[in-house]
Amino acid sequence: MTHRDKSLADDFPEHVRLYAGRIAESSASALSGLYDLTAPRLVRYATTITRNQHDAEDAVQTTLVKVAGRPRLLCRADQPWSYLLRMVRNESLAILRRRDRWSLVSNLGDLLTRTSVDEVDQEDRHRAVWGALRTLPTEQSEVVVLKIWEEMTFHEIAEILELSPSTAASRYRYAMEKLSRKLQIALDVEVLCE
């Protein structure tokens, strides 16, 4: 992670707040900037709920259209980033309710950064992690994504998911136990195949 990336990660919620204020001032470029800033993270999060990248992208797009239509809602939120995550979650859940079949599962691998040929082992590990994550119940996988990739506290996660911090923590603990077992089994199989 570069210094710029680290700085952005540290101040990410503040960057969201800044764009929310600019959008409220009717700045189309601010909406574009908010999209550029948040879309990869929002799509990653929505994918853990919808289990389908296209549905996740639709949830993010719908959310940002709503933000464009009523920018003051995001601007006035105490924590715009958490509010935006909650909006994406609600849109993702609405898509699930409308979707006829749950059997469609997209490849979560294309959410990860594309890697070069020299990093094939790392890509295989990423796919193994995403594959194991996909087998978890949505309630657990969304906590893992928010905790690990979004670096949120259990209190922040609880606010977004509208549950208690202890429930968020227990879902995370159960998920990590399951992931650990699944990844250990995959590693054992990999060693046997060599």
Contact criterion met (CB below 8 Å) for 77 and 83: yes
pLDDT for the residue 45 = 95
C-alpha torsion sign, points 34, 151, 161, 125:
positive
Neighbours of 173 (CB within 10 A): 12
Query: What are the boundaries of each domain within the chain?
Result: 1-106, 111-194
CATH number for the domain running over 1-106: 1.10.1740.10
Render pLDDT for 1-27 as a digit per residue (tens, 0 to 9).
555 555 556 688 888 888 888 887 766
Render pLDDT for 20-31 as a digit per residue (tens, 0 to 9).
888 877 667 788
Place of tokens 């296209």: 54
Q: Report the percentage of the chain scoring pLDDT > 90.
A: 36
pLDDT of residue 162 exceeding 90, the answer is: yes
Render pLDDT for 32-91 as a digit per residue (tens, 0 to 9).
888 999 999 999 999 999 988 999 999 999 999 898 888 888 888 999 999 999 999 999
On the 0-12 / 13-18 / 19+ scale of CB atoms within 10 A, 99 is: middle
CATH fit for domain 111-194, picks 1.10.20.10, 3.50.30.30, 3.40.50.1110, 1.10.10.10:
1.10.10.10
Question: Residue 118's pLDDT band (boundaries 50, 70, 90)?
Answer: very low
CA neighbor of 60 nearest in space, from 48, 72, 76: 48
The angle formed by the CA atoms of residues 38, 93 and 127, to the nearest 5 degrees, is 60
Q: Which residues contact 139 (CB under 8 A, 6 or more apart)?
A: 171
Average pLDDT, integer, range 141-150: 89
pLDDT for the residue 19 = 84
Place of tokens 């979650």: 89
- Give the CB-side neighbour count of residue 120, counting CA atoms within 13 A: 2
